[in-house]
A and B are shown apart, each in its own frame.
Chain A
Amino acid sequence: MVGKTIRQYRIQEAIGKGGMGAVYKALDTQLNRVVVLKLLSRELLGHEKARSRFLREARLASALDHPNICTIYEIQESEGFYYIAMQFVEGQTLKQAINKRPLANSTILSISLQFADALAMAHDRGIIHRDIKPQNIMLTPRGQVKVLDFGLAKSVDESTAHLHADLTEHGKTLGTPSYMSPEQARSERIDRRADIFSFGTVLYEMVTGRKAFAGDNNVDIMYAVCNLEPKAVAELNPNLLPGIQEILTKALAKDPAQRYQNMHELLADLKEVSSGSVQMTVPDGIHQPYAEVKRAPRNWFNQFIPSFLRKKKSGSSSISGLDAGGLTDLSQTQAQRRGKPGERTPDFSLHDDFPLIPGQHKTLAVLPFRNLASQMDDAWRVSFLEALIAEMTKFKALTIRPSSAVLQYFDDPRNATEIGRDLGVDAILLGSLLGTETRLRAVVQMIDISSGSILWAGKIDAEESDSLRLQDALCKGLLEHFKGKKEGNAALDLLKDESPDVRIDAILALKTSNDLTALNELADALKDPILEVKSAAAEVLGYHGKNATTAVLAALDESLGKRQFQTARFGVRAAGIIGSTEFVPVLLDALTCEDGFVASEAALALGKIRDLRACPDLIDALQHKDANVRFAAVQALGNLADPQAVSALETRLRDDSDEGIQAKALWAINRIRRKPFGTSTMTAIHTSTNLK
């Protein structure tokens, strides 16, 4: 078969023989990648059952999309062959990695967590593996686990169980004896708990270097599986992690009812072991890296120490001069990842919380940047996306969606919040590109999916001699922004941008800032010449509530003193939104301002603050020559709901020439009459104190 081409697959070498046929390494000449080709043997081709089983295997496995399960590419028939094309996994099998010696604790945990997670997902989809063994688990050089060969997998879906029943031939033992469950050994009906037992045998072997159940022949092995307990792991591995024995005891219970009932329970216990009492996420290479595949250090001296001299508690390093292994191993691995002291300065900002995104779990998706006016082609944009994702994954507090999940949104016209909901993330990072091949500007926003508001906005400019350096410069620039360089918050910098739209975006981004400097800058933005910018500043200051009181008071004092009425107007508006009674004296002053808009806004603000001390002044304002002020005063008196205003409002209703004011007065009177004095939430201060 080597050298033969089946459709686009050119067979390169034979790599094994499965129960159903041969397994080859092949080159997919269309996509130029190496694949594994499983061929159904010619002898079985004519057997309907065998063909069905072969196809069923592929169908079941292809339904599983998990980073730790080998991907099925296609199932086809061609030139008389039935074949399954699947992912070629470079690396070694777990069997090869163990090689009769316990693995290092970090490696055990990393592999078992990944493996457990994959099995849990398969079980959730109703699929049982039924042939779990170290030979069916591949380990990549990075330490990623890939579960192979769901060849004997069974669907537990009751609706189709009858279709599969005759294929699996109840009464016929299938699986590998050393790793099969007692019920498998007895050819009884099995469920997911059979996989849990097999998982336990694999875990046992990783921890001890030995099979849990052994014998001279299959009969002896199956007897041991059904009737004997494996040797205590502590006797075989003095560096055993606390908690592992308990997990093994439960997973290897003979009676399925005494075992873990599902993989999620087992996974939870594994996480508990791996991080003490703190939950640890499954290593997935994104937010929790894989551990290197390492064997436990040889504990030669320990082998010769009489048992009464060995510490009974596992995991302790009682004898000086020897490697402790265990937890020290784990921390060494982390330190290795960080780099040796002196070689690399740790970047603690990457390990800090990511405060921009609210909430605890902080998931983010980076969308492909739009080409607003740049010459960068699609390939560059894809490459830039992947590079940016790689940079963002450096933030330990973030869970980032992989590029495979977001590339489908390339040039998707839908809005960010809709896409974000699709992806199930807390926030989206998106942007647009302008410029040339050597000089680019990226204008970027981070959007909060739940509220649709802008968490951060910024622009990064880069100029480099080639497009790849440009990519690096942009990525680095963005990363620096998020790391919060002391040079300044990007949004604060953009408050002075020449574009009003950018200034407004920057103001909106400061909604979440707790920085006192930001509040003062926002108050300064009230002086902006563009009304929309002033209005945005007022809204965001209002959003900050009482924290912004000092800044707004200062802005009001200055603007009223200098007769900067436009600024004062929006300062007054901010005061109304904040709603603090501290503003009442300055607002009463503003109520008499010669500028009608300032006076009107002051009346509205007093109505929002609902301090009854303002009532007499507002009643006076009902006589104002400016109809806007009268209208605002009517509105405010309605909000205050003070009965002493009714008579004045009735006069307004009768005498005012403006029908809009009349309509408002009618509302205000009805509101006051509906609301008895003293039952509202406003401050019930009603004195004749002169506040001015």
Chain B
Amino acid sequence: MLFLGADIGRTTRFALVDETGRLHQQSRVPTDIRSGRAFVNGLIAAFREAIEKASAPVGAAGIGLPGLVDHHTQQIEVLTNFLNISAIDLHGECERALGIPVIFDNDANLAAFAEWQCGAAQGATDAVLITLGRGIGCGLILKGELQRGARGFAGEFGHTKIGNEPIECSCGASGCLETVVSGPNIVRRTRELLFLDPRFTHSTLVSKMRIKLTCEDVVDAAKFGDELARTVLEDTARSLGIAISNIINLLNVEKVVLGGPVMGAGDFLLASIREEVARNAFAPLLVRCSIVTGTLGNDAGMIGAGLLAKRELEQAPPK
């Protein structure tokens, strides 16, 4: 049996996931955000086609969203950049159209689930996955269970407060971790730093900065030792390290898994984060705690969605 696993972002990536977490028939379609209706119709069409072409029966579908999903009601509470979605019963329509059980969850939860089931957090009973991309996602595995909180909103790590920077967050508050370490804010800070320090006029990023700069550009430049890029990412590592220390101090996790495009910067970023954690976390809690990068990469969302769908199907009461 196979399970549909989908990861919705600017692009919707989806695949059929087998019971070991391997991906089959990977596909991607641009996410239609013109309206809620266009969005739903686009999803259904793409998934239906995938199910029809599957080499084995598809038992259930898991769909990860960059927003807040009430786990019990399966209602989408917040979905940034996706307008007019609240009026649509996304869960109901998908189940009816696809003819299989569908489970929605936060994309970071699903990535955490995947890393726990078959990735970097395998074997741990208490772990946290943090994804660093356009936003900051976080999934919590505690006592061998994916933790969602009272309504499924647990893990909004990106909105924990890191300082008093006056940069306003999409959530409406200021000082959020996301305003410092998310992809767009890494680019923002890179642009700001260019004007603050004349040294950086010689950065390899300058020509790109005239046209368009992405977080991946900064990450790549840092890998090759560019001073501007490294400075920005070292600052990023400092803020992340402090925030991660808070998680370790609070939850006594044994694994912190870091994923997302920002982690593409490589070992130097991970080393800086570890250093900052060592400075700030309560030492006894660090004894059996390791900070690692995820092993499933950008596929973690799809894998987690598929495997979660499998689990939900297995655990569902017989009809």
Q: Which residues of A contact B (CB under 8 A)?
A: 531-532, 534-535, 570, 596-597, 600-601, 604, 626-628, 631-632, 635, 657-664, 666-667, 670-671, 674
Contacts and interface: CB of A to CB of B under 8 A. Distances in A.
Contacts of A570: 198
Nearest to B178: A663
Interface of A is mostly: helix
Given A531-B198, A627-B209, A664 B188 contact: yes
8 contacts: A531-B198, A531-B199, A601-B195, A658-B187, A659-B183, A660-B186, A670-B168, A674-B168
Contacts of A600: 195
A604 B134 CA distance: 26
B37 interface: no
Given A658-B212, A664-B188, A535 B195 contact: no
A627 B208 CA distance: 9
A114 to B, nearest CB: 53
Contact of B187 (A531, A604, A628, A663): A663
Contacts of B198: 531-532, 534-535, 570
B151 to A, nearest CB: 27
Interface of B: 134, 166-168, 170, 183-192, 194-195, 197-199, 201, 209-215
Nearest to A531: B198
Nearest to B200: A531
B199 to A, nearest CB: 7
Contacts of A657: 212
B168 A659 contact: no
A660 to B, nearest CB: 3
Shortest beta-carbon contacts, A-B, top 9:
A660-B187, A659-B184, A531-B198, A663-B184, A670-B168, A660-B188, A535-B198, A663-B188, A631-B191
Contacts of B213: 627, 658, 660
A666 B135 CA distance: 14
B289 to A, nearest CB: 32
B50 to A, nearest CB: 30
A601 B184 CA distance: 22
Given A627-B209, A635-B192, A660-B188, 10 more contacts: A531-B198, A597-B201, A600-B195, A628-B209, A659-B183, A659-B215, A660-B184, A660-B189, A664-B188, A671-B166
B198 to A, nearest CB: 4
Contact of B211 (A627, A635, A664): A627
A610 to B, nearest CB: 16
Nearest to B214: A659
A626 to B, nearest CB: 5
A635 B167 CA distance: 12
A641 to B, nearest CB: 12
Contacts of B184: 659-660, 662-663
Contacts of B185: 660, 663
A671 B210 contact: no
Contacts, number: 64
Contacts of A663: 184-185, 187-188
A667 B187 contact: no
Nearest to B195: A604
Given A658-B213, A663-B185, A671 B195 contact: no
**For A663, A670, A671, which residue has the most chain B Cβ atoms within 10 angstroms?**
A663
Nearest to A673: B168
B53 to A, nearest CB: 34
A615 B17 CA distance: 54
A627 B212 contact: yes
Nearest to B211: A627
Contacts of B214: 658-659
Contacts of B197: 535
B191 A664 contact: yes
Nearest to A535: B198
A597 B201 CA distance: 9
Contacts of A670: 168
Nearest to A660: B187
A657 B168 CA distance: 20
Nearest to A670: B168
Contacts of B210: 596, 626-628
A664 B191 CA distance: 10
A531 B195 contact: no
Contacts of B187: 658-660, 663
Most A CB within 10 A of own CB, among B184, B195, B199: B195
Nearest to A570: B198
Contacts of A604: 195
A325 to B, nearest CB: 68
Contacts of A671: 166, 168
A631 B190 CA distance: 11
B72 to A, nearest CB: 32
A570 B197 CA distance: 11
Nearest to B185: A663
A659 B190 CA distance: 11
B262 to A, nearest CB: 12
A671 B166 CA distance: 9
Contacts of B189: 660
Nearest to B174: A670
B120 to A, nearest CB: 27
Nearest to B194: A628
Contacts of A674: 168
Contact of A660 (B170, B190, B211): B190
* Residue of B167, B198, B211, B214 with most partner-chain A CB within 10 A: B198
Contact of B191 (A535, A601, A628, A667): A628
A664 B195 CA distance: 15
Contacts of A626: 210
Contact of A667 (B134, B168, B199): B168
B52 to A, nearest CB: 36
B134 to A, nearest CB: 7
Nearest to B182: A663
Nearest to B215: A659
B133 to A, nearest CB: 11
Contacts of B211: 627
A659 B183 CA distance: 8
Contacts of A667: 167-168
Nearest to B170: A666
B205 to A, nearest CB: 11
A596 to B, nearest CB: 6
